[in-house]
Structure 1
Amino acid sequence: MAPSVADLKTEESAAPTKADVKPKPSGLSYPFYYPYYDVDEKFPPTQLFEHTDVGARADPAKPNLLTPNAITRDISTYLGTEITGVQISQLSKEGLDELALFAAERKVLVFRDQDFKDLGPERQIEIARHFGPIQRHPTSGNVKGYPEFHVVYRDPEHDLFKEYRGRERASGIQWHSDVSYEKQPPGTTFFFILDQPGVGGDTLFLSQVEAYKRLSPEFQKRLEGLVAVHSAVKQAEFSQKRGHPVRREPVETEHPLVRQHPVTGEKALYVNQGFTRRIVGFKTEESECLLNFLFDHISKGADFHIRATYAPGTVVVWDNRVTAHSATVDFDNAIRRHAVRLTPQAEVPIPA
């Protein structure tokens, strides 16, 4: 059982405040989305719900998404497609269904030149809810009055990347699938780029489908049926230590090591260094040995990785069920990086 919030307090905890009320720095392109923290904000436990992936009803030809104006460029063979000539804000319900299917097939979609005048917070939330209930993050900065948003922000006064990964680490890379500790982790996910360095600040993505395919058939069979624990505890401990909120009791949830996508039927590894802690039924050394091999396998698989490059007005859509990703902290924190994520939850992971 995961510890309670009270158990996470340490002597090093910063004194909590009602809310983060620091003045917003100048120069923000979108000050509305500046991260907001309220230690008194609390969310109830997430509840199980019936989920049907909207991609299952999509037209495979995708006429409402890939219109004659759409220009696509595949970033690699296994994942990643860049799209211009499509405004997400203008997509019909049928177009959004096709977006879910395309994201499942290509794993990561990078939409360029999105007009945020037509893609304000209400429309962003409306679009995301088409794919499932939006996960409200238990610890991150959100937008005041809009707890659905997870804010990603870095500047000289606000550098959680370095603090969370550890100042003594030689690399900031940490592969993860967003909030995989949830009972129903996310599927189709949206990431809106607001302010971005001219160089750097990209995201690495990998295909967990191709990572699974690269394993031998005998090894694949050994992994199928195994279950691993995904934990929110470390994330909650970090937030508690900084005097930031823990809005929901941290959970630990068991998920299959290999899951199957409900629409494409593809099998994918479902492990990530950020949240996967141990394999159920294995002794400690056995679990560490197998998980470390899988972490090493996915992190070194450069031939099934991509590097998604960004600019203001980029919107990235990816399927968290079949991918993992990592920020790249390769820019000076004197340069602002600002983005927001909406994370609709999907089905309970289906074992392969």
Structure 2
Amino acid sequence: MSQTVTQTEVKVDPPATLVLKSPVQASEDEYRYSHLLPVFSQAHYPPLTPFTHSDPGLRALEHPNPRAFLQNATSVVEITPRLGTEVRGVNLAELDSNGRDQLALEVARRGLVVFRDQHDFIDRGPDFYKAWGSHFGRLHIHPTSGHPEGYPEVHLVYRDANSTFNFEISDSITSTVWHTDVSYELQPPGLTTFFLLSQPETGGDTLFTSQVSTLQKLSPPFVAFLRTLTAVHSGVEQANFSRSGKRGGIVRREPVEHIHPVVRKHPVTGEEALYVNRQFTRRIVGLKREESDNILRFLYDHIDKSGDNQARLKWQPGTVAVWDNRVTAHSAIVDYADSKERRHGARITPQAERPIPALDGLKLE
């Protein structure tokens, strides 16, 4: 794309705000992060406009030591061979611009990097979160989720004994729904940062899977066929879920559908990754319904069942997870509902480039 356009969030409606605070505590004023509880503003935003994304990982390739930000770490452990690294002894909040570039490259290569003991990062608050995320791309404002008052760029997930504002389907036998965040956007997220402000004593883990590895498990002739395909990703169902009165009952931006390659190429590493997900992918373009349904069902089952491509993150206080939505998928695990404990998380979601097809010349229209 030749033109850089800055996202402008123009509020059309009066700024009325529905404040939904948790009644689980006798007084939410006693909750350390009460200022970050979800509100659901009635503001409406125009459609997102295309922009030129400059990936910080590309800059890191030019650094003399692209992993220099880890040189003072006390522990760097691979969670699994194919996906995920856990780091201790690095204060994310103190990384300079070069360190953040290097982080982006490391996350692109490993898919997921988990940092422990990041209380400094978490306690710096939403202005810091915005500045942090803006280094990695244009910040996405979610069309239906709750956010801290005055900070729509900070997406919140929240559940306690009395309420849930997550996108959950109550008539399913499982809470596991593999997805890449808001993949229906023209330019979906790249590097994403997430942490919990409050968590249950046990449960509430997050599953991740490598979409590079899931693709590599398939036979070369089948992968060659998948490279020729595109698929529709849709935000309509998520918007309708909110419009039905659930989550927060609001839709701040009209839902969109976009066509993305079934196999995409990472702009920094060049790795190819499967790019479909059960939550937002609706159909494969150009195939008959039964053909599309059967291929997608096979791919979803493959993602679901490939435990050898997956990593499970057990949250601890002070944990910050950074992942690359272009080469991973993830799912929350809602197994703590009976405990009636609070799980309160914040996500900073910079957008990246429009997905690059693995097959040169593949049309996305």
User: Closer, same or farther in 2 for the Cα pair 1:86/1:20, shift >3 Å?
Assistant: same
AA matched with 2:32: S
- 1:188 maps to 191
| Equivalent-residue separation in structure 2 for 1:232 and 1:208 (angstroms) | 21
Q: Secondary structure at the match of 2:283?
A: strand
Q: C-alpha distance in 2, partners of 1:105/1:213?
A: 15
The question of 1:54 aligning with 2:56 is answered yes
- Separation (CA, whole Å) in 1 of partners of 2:32 and 2:175: 26
Residue 75 of structure 1: aligned partner = 79
Q: Name the CA shift for 1:174/1:49 in 2 (closer, same or farther; >3 Å).
A: same
**Secondary structure of 2:357 counterpart:** coil
For the residue of structure 1 that corresponds to 2:294, the secondary structure is: helix
Deviations 1:224-253 (A, max 9, x none): 021000000000001111162101010000
Tell me the CA shift for residue 65 of structure 1: 1.3
Alignment of 1:248-287 (within 5 A): 248-287=253-292
Residues 299 and 188 (structure 1 numbering): CA distance in 2 closer, same or farther, change over 3 Å?
Answer: same
* From 44, 47, 57, the counterpart of 2:46: 44
Aligned residues: 333
Displacement after TM superposition at 1:332 (Å): 2.6
Number of the residue aligned with 1:20: 18
- Shift of the alpha carbon at 1:119? 2.8
Identity over the aligned pairs, expressed in percent? 51
CA, structure 1 residues 117+110, in 2 after alignment: closer, same or farther (shift >3 Å)? Answer: closer
Aligned: 1:293 with 2:298: yes
Report the residue type matching 1:83 in the other structure.
V
- Shift in Å at residue 177 of structure 1? 0.2
| 2:223 partner SS | helix
Query: C-alpha separation between the residues in 1 aligned to 2:135 and 2:149?
Result: 22
Q: Distance in 2 between matches of 1:271 and 1:63?
A: 30
Residues 215 and 118 (structure 1), Cα distance of their counterparts in 2 relative to 1, 3 Å cut: same
Distance 1:319 1:22 in 2: 30
* 1:103-252 equivalence runs, <5 A: 103-114=107-118, 115-116=120-121, 119-161=124-166, 164-242=167-245, 244-252=249-257
User: Which one is further off, 164-173 or 183-192?
Assistant: 164-173
Match of 2:89 among 69, 85, 90: 85
1:121: how far off? 1.3
1:215 corresponds to which letter in structure 2? L
**Which amino acid in 2 is paired with 1:97?**
D
Looking at structure 2, the residues matched to 196 and 61 of structure 1 have their Cα atoms a distance apart, in angstroms, of: 36
**Residues 22, 189 of structure 1: CA spacing in aligned structure 2 closer, same or farther, 3 A cutoff?**
closer
Query: Post-superposition shift, 1:166?
Result: 2.5
SS in 2 for 1:306: strand
- Structure with higher RCO (Cα < 8 A, 6+ apart): 1
Shift of 1:21: 2.8
**Alpha-carbon offset, residue 311 of structure 1:** 1.5
Q: Which amino acid aligns with 1:314?
A: T
What amino acid is aligned across from residue 204 of structure 1 in structure 2?
Answer: L
Gaps of at least 5 residues in structure 1 are 1-16
User: TM-score, structure 2 length as denominator?
Assistant: 0.88
Q: What is the CA-CA distance between 1:157 and the residue it aligns to? A: 1.5
Q: Which moved more, 1:48-57 or 1:63-72?
A: 63-72
Aligned-pair distance for 1:117? 6.5
Instruction: Give the CA deviation at 1:259.
Output: 0.1
For the residue of structure 1 that corresponds to 2:19, the secondary structure is coil
Letter in 1 for 2:89: G
TM superposition score normalised by structure 1: 0.91
Give SS of 1:37's match.
strand
Matched, 1:341 2:347: yes
Over 3 Å counting, the alpha-carbon distance change for 1:60 and 1:128 in structure 2 is: farther
- Mean CA deviation greater in 178-187 or 242-251: 242-251
The one-letter code matched in structure 2 to 1:94 is N
Give yes or no for the alignment of 1:29 onto 2:32.
yes
Q: Which structure 2 residue ranges, 5 or more long, are not aligned?
A: 1-14, 359-365
More divergent stretch after superposition (278-287 vs 58-67) = 58-67
Residues in 1 aligned to 2:59 and 2:170: alpha-carbon distance in whole angstroms: 47
